[in-house]
Structure 1
């Protein structure tokens, strides 16, 4: 699962519960809702995070990607 942080558009903050429901319907496992910031955190199956941007009321989706360095030789 990929961790994601979803920003809700300022003009959609009044509909935050509806946006959260739509994110769940789109496959997001919601772990937290920061109402004052308009941010929803959670996880999705790999490759699904980028699709959350199409959910009405979403302004930005940040997918946490793991970066690993090769071991020192």
Structure 2
């Protein structure tokens, strides 16, 4: 999974990516809600796209997601 590349529908602001993108490394669809400087989590989906987020507490989000997967 690559970084957000071409924005197909979203908001362009310096230091932030929000909306639908194509991956720089290929044509994969991405929904991104990321800010510069933070850790980025990639969450794959079964719907044909991945979600990129940069939460304030990424470890807590990973624990929460792992708990719901069980």
- Please state which structure has a larger fraction of its residues in strand: 2
* TM-score of the pair, normalised by structure 1: 0.23
The structure carrying a bigger helix percent of its residues is 1
Name the structure, 1 or 2, with higher relative contact order (CA <8 Å, separation 6+): 1
